[in-house]
A = this chain, B = another copy of it.
Amino acid sequence: MSPFIEQLTTDQEKEMKRQLDVYRQGVQDIIPTEELAEKIAKSLVTNTPLKVKLGLDPSAPDVHLGHTVVLNKLRQFQENGHTIQLIIGDFTGKIGDPTGKSSARKQLTDEEVKENAKTYFEQFGKVLDMEKVELHYNSKWLSSLSFEDVIQLAGKITVARLLERDDFEERLAYGKSISLHEFFYPLMQGYDSVILEADIELGGTDQHFNILMGRHYQEKFGKEKQIAILMPLLEGLDGVEKMSKSKHNYIGIDESPNEMYGKAMSIPDPLMSKYFELITDLEPAEIAQIKKDLHAGSLHPRDAKMLLARTIVRMYHSKEAAEKAEQQFITIFQKGALPEDIPTVQWTGNNPESLVQLLVDVNLLPSKSEAKRMIQNGGVRIDGEKIEEVDLEVTINKELIIQVGKRKFVKLLG
């Protein structure tokens, strides 16, 4: 059963175990877990990279750290010389929703698909070496299938098996309609694996069923079966819900260093280890040490979180940007000092001017009523001094620093 594992040299065996440790890090499930070692062994013995597949929805991508959980796992495979296969599911994208019920699944043109793929590429380039990545559009093989081919494909799967998918089972049980074409999405994903001869397919735990379709169809077509590596879903900054744009609990990988660092510092303490494991590029040993030190109390949670924040900014910007963001954060939030680069406004209006009007004019607050409320709540400072007088008239005859809340500053030049 395990010919390649038995052929490994001592060095190769060590390398296999090292890779196994890396790949197992942070995963939710490997199915079947015992086959992964053999796949790596095959790659080492035959000196052939493994093909590691990730399917992508062709609708407009907006990548945040939640998405990078799988990307980081792909990066680990890439760093060990394996081949990453990104598949843009453009065939389904071009079809849209034939029932017309789902506005989410609108029909995309060739140009839109290409444009979205480009956006993926740019954003994924922050995690993966895109020059080594294989990019595939599944319309290439799916659009040329005939009805007869489809019947052959459908003949290789049972209705009962498809109804095992949690959402199908539930909808049928509760009398919610399942349109027959929906049965084809897992079939297509499975057939993609047949065509690409994938060794491993990655996805979130919600892809469990669909990825196993790949195994099923590879076997039916007489191919070697892929392994499913399922990654956990990442909770967002609220510590509860899955990270997503609609929940406003995300860190986008396109955000500025300061924004990214600040948001990372708001990750709840209990989630820190999970973030280290799932979205950073630190070595397993390093992460293990951090967890150990945190547990022993020799590492302060604040310091660990600063390392996490620094790591995230370094990954998506640079080491320098990370250090600068950290300095900025320390200056403002930890020492209560001013940040280095705050917007400067040359004042040309009334002089003196009411503070309430001034706050609106320099765009620190949207309306005079909000400006009043902010002053009443003690949220406004001039040159570091808290203002309590709502009717204050300000004479601008020198440089003044006006501050609203913790983070918003304007330097006013008289």
Interface residues of A (CB under 8 A from B): 91, 94-95, 97-99, 142-152, 154-160, 162-163, 168, 172, 175, 177-184, 187
- The complex is assembled from copies of this chain, and their number is 2
Pick from B147, B157, B168: contact of A180, CB under 8 Å: B157
- Known contacts A98-B154, A152-B98, A154-B98; A159/B147 CB under 8 A: no
Pick from B149, B159, B181: contact of A151, CB under 8 Å: B181
Pick from B147, B157, B160, B177: contact of A172, CB under 8 Å: B160
By a CB distance below 8 angstroms, the chain B residues around A180 are 154-155, 157-159, 162, 183, 187
CA gap between A181 and B184 in the complex, in Å: 11
CB pair B179–A158 under 8 Å, yes or no, is: yes
- State the majority secondary structure of interface residues on A: helix
A141 CB → nearest B CB, Å: 10
CB pair B95–A151 under 8 Å, yes or no, is: yes
CA gap between A159 and B181 in the complex, in Å: 9
CB pair B145–A159 under 8 Å, yes or no, is: no
By a CB distance below 8 angstroms, the chain B residues around A159 are 159, 163, 168, 172, 177-180, 182-183
CA gap between A97 and B148 in the complex, in Å: 11
20 new A-B contacts, CB < 8 A, other than A143-B147, A151-B181, A154-B183, are A91-B147, A91-B148, A98-B154, A98-B155, A99-B155, A99-B156, A143-B148, A144-B147, A146-B146, A146-B147, A147-B147, A154-B180, A155-B179, A155-B181, A158-B179, A159-B168, A159-B177, A162-B180, A163-B172, A180-B183
CB pair A160–B178 under 8 Å, yes or no, is: yes
CB pair A98–B183 under 8 Å, yes or no, is: no
By a CB distance below 8 angstroms, the chain B residues around A181 are 151-152, 154-155
CA gap between A177 and B160 in the complex, in Å: 7
Supply 14 A–B pairs (Cβ within 8 Å), ascending by A.
Answer: A91-B147, A91-B148, A94-B148, A95-B152, A98-B155, A99-B156, A142-B147, A145-B147, A155-B181, A158-B178, A159-B163, A159-B177, A180-B183, A180-B187
CA gap between A146 and B156 in the complex, in Å: 19
By a CB distance below 8 angstroms, the chain B residues around A155 are 97-99, 179-181
**Nearest 10 interchain pairs by C-beta:** A98-B155, A154-B181, A154-B180, A155-B181, A145-B147, A159-B178, A158-B177, A98-B152, A151-B181, A99-B155
